[in-house]
Amino acid sequence: MIRVALGGIMRLGVVMAVVVLTVTTPLRAQTARIADLTTRAGEVPRRLVGYGLVVGLEGTGDRSFGGFAGETPTVRSIVNLLKRFNVVVPPEAMISRNVAAVLVTAEASPFLRSGGRFEVQVSSLGDATSLRGGVLWITPLVADPNQPPVATAQGPLLVTTDEGRAMQRRGTSGRIPDGAILEIDPPASVMSASRLVVRRPDLGTATRIAEAINAALGPGSARVEDPGAVGLTPKQQSADSVMGFLAAVDTLPVAQPAPSRIVINARDGTVVAGGDVRVGAAAVSHRGITLRVGPPPPGAGGEGVLALQSGATVQEVAAGLHAAGATSQEMAAVFEALHEVGAVTAQVTVQ
């Protein structure tokens, strides 16, 4: 049961309706492919970075009003780009609030070939207040600043914003799905056919993977080396047979219990609980909001006080915090505090 000392049942009902959409119910045990749980040794993603400009903003870009501000890196970048199109504009005459300097980062598969697309993340470098509605100018991406570009990125940004208590928090970072194109083939990658690397090292997961492989492909085909690695022993040594062996391993199903984990998106307030996660007795006060789990002390109550019974679910806590007017970052702080005092034993991850 949730008791919230707030003025108005109607507001609580509306908030609860919103929480139904933003809080995911606990997950039960499920079956996963080995390919979803592991990677092969030597399969290291390529990390790429670039410096670029986001254009088309509605007055929310980097501040530059001429004079001294006209010599900012953003203005110089605009001037240099225009020179490539034979358009010469003096930096001191450049007045633009519709452009922002950004850092572009990405991870690409080591097996992606030229022409392949991948997602990029875009983050503001200057004092722009929002990148919403912006378009990334074509930006070279490099693996090392001293090496030539290997990919380019461009396209409209997807920006997530958060509704705070009093005002909307504007996004200064975003992403472009499939916004980058690899233009140069990567160097040959050395992929090991004798070891699988567990994405989330866990002895139980590694053991279940080895048992599934041995049951399907014969005893001795796999062995647990440590919580993060499973050794493989292909029966044949030809390249075709080894690739077929690895393909067969990738598709094998493994029963995977739902982990006890809470994931919180600090931007939009989404809370996802994996496993049967419950909250023990605790009391947390944060920025005018007090959360009490367990029997309330005599005289407890008042504005901004949230009371729940011991053993409350994550959904009930999140719903109550939403009803009390907590922002997404405040919700993340409360769950981290509950984890620190031992009221929540599940792993808490804030994104």
Q: Does residue 5 carry a pLDDT above 70?
A: no
User: Per residue in 146-167, pLDDT tens?
Assistant: 889 999 999 999 987 654 443 4
> How far is the C-alpha of 106 from the C-alpha of 87, rounded, in Å?
31
Q: Does residue 215 carry a pLDDT above 70?
A: yes
The dihedral through the CA atoms of 221, 225, 226, 228 has a sign that is negative
Q: Does residue 213 carry a pLDDT above 90?
A: yes
Highest-confidence segment of 53-62, 181-190, 329-338: 53-62
Per-residue pLDDT at 302: 56
Give the predicted TM-score (pTM) of the model: 0.65
The 3-state DSSP class for residue 228 equals: coil
* DSSP designation for 32: E
Question: Which residues sit opposite 100 in a β-bridge?
Answer: 54
Length of the chain: 351
Per-residue pLDDT at 2: 42
Q: Does residue 240 carry a pLDDT above 70?
A: no
Instruction: Compare 187 and 258 and report the one with higher pLDDT.
Output: 187
User: Per residue in 63-98, pLDDT tens?
Assistant: 765 444 456 788 888 888 888 887 887 777 677 788
Question: Which residues sit opposite 306 in a β-bridge?
Answer: 4, 291
Q: What is the mean pLDDT of residues 180-199?
A: 83
Instruction: Compare 228 and 256 and report the one with higher pLDDT.
Output: 228
How many angstroms separate the Cα of 236 from the Cα of each of 221, 233, 286, 291? 11, 9, 61, 61
